[in-house]
C-alpha cells in the first residue's frame, strides 16, 4: 500500500498532508499538520507505525515550532510506554487518537471486517494537540453501510456524534464540519 492524502481543516484554518507506506510487515503513516488556534499558528508532524493488521506499535508527534516531541510505544495488547516507562492509566487502549487528524479514525476501522449495523466500542489513547496531554477515552463506531462516496460510520465520543465517510482503504473522505479530503 502506498497512499497520499490531503485534507482541508474546514472547522478552522488548516490542512494536512499524509502518506501511508508499507514497509515489510509494517504500515508507516506520516503526517504534517498546519492549523491555527485563537492564540497561535501551529506546525505539527506525526508518525504512526502499525503492524499489517493496523495495530499501533509506535507514535511520534513533534511540535515543529517548539521542538517538543512525544514518543510512545505499544505492545499492541493495551500496554503503552513513554521513555521505557509504562503508562498504566492508558492500559487497554489499542488505538491512538491524535486530535488534529482524521487519520486516527482509520485505525479502529481498519482493524476489523465490518458487517452493516455492527457496532464496536474502543478504548483510545487520546493525544490532545497542541498540549500533548494524554487521556484514555471510549469511542464507538457503527458501520451504517456503503454509499456512492464510500463506507459510512456513525462515530461517538463523549457527547459528540457524527457520520464519517471512508474510502475503500478506510481513510476518511468526509468528516462533517471538521475535515474534507481534497486529494
DSSP the chain: -EEEEEEEETTSSEEEEEEEEEETTEEEEEEEEEEE-SS-EEEEEEEEEEETT--EEEEEEEETTT--EEEEEE-SSS-EEETTEE-GGGTT--EEEETT-GGGGHHHHHTS---TT-EEEEEEEEE-TTT--EEEEEEEEEEEEE-SS-EEEEEEETTEEEEEEE-TTS-EEEETTTEEE--
What pLDDT is recorded for position 12? 82
Query: pLDDT of 51-74, one tens digit each?
Result: 999 999 999 999 999 999 999 999
pLDDT at residue 82 greater than cutoff 80: yes
What pLDDT is recorded for position 83? 85
Task: Spell out a b/e string for 1-34, using b for 16 or more CB atoms within 10 Å of the CB, else e.
Answer: eeeebebebeeeebebebebeeeeeebebbbebb
For residues 55 and 11, what is the distance between their CA atoms, to the nearest angstrom?
29
Query: pLDDT of 18-47, one tens digit each?
Result: 999 999 899 999 999 999 988 899 999 999
Phi then psi dihedrals of residue 25, to 5 deg: -105, 10
* pTM attached to this predicted model: 0.95
What pLDDT is recorded for position 39? 86
Mean of the per-residue pLDDT values for the chain?
96
For residues 55 and 181, what is the distance between their CA atoms, to the nearest angstrom?
24
Amino acid at each position: 500500500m502506498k497512499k497520499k492524502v490531503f485534507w482541508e481543516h474546514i472547522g478552522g484554518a488548516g490542512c494536512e498532508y499524509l502518506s501511508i507506506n508499507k514497509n515489510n510487515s509494517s504500515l508507516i503513516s506520516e503526517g504534517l499538520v498546519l492549523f491555527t488556534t485563537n492564540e497561535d499558528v501551529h506546525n505539527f508532524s506525526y508518525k504512526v507505525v502499525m503492524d499489517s493488521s493496523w495495530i499501533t506499535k509506535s507514535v511520534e508527534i513533534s511540535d515543529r515550532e517548539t521542538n517538543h516531541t512525544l514518543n510512545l510505544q505499544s505492545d499492541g495488547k493495551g500496554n503503552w510506554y513513554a521513555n521505557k516507562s509504562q503508562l498504566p492509566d492508558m492500559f487497554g487502549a489499542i488505538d491512538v487518537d491524535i486530535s488534529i487528524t482524521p487519520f486516527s479514525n482509520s485505525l479502529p476501522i481498519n482493524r476489523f471486517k465490518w458487517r452493516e449495523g455492527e457496532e464496536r466500542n474502543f478504548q483510545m489513547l487520546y493525544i490532545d494537540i497542541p498540549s500533548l496531554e494524554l487521556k484514555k477515552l471510549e469511542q464507538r463506531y457503527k458501520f451504517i453501510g456503503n454509499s456512492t462516496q464510500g463506507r459510512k460510520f456513525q462515530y461517538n465520543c463523549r457527547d459528540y456524534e457524527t457520520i464519517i465517510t471512508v474510502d475503500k482503504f478506510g481513510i476518511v473522505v468526509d468528516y462533517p464540519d471538521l475535515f474534507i479530503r481534497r486529494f
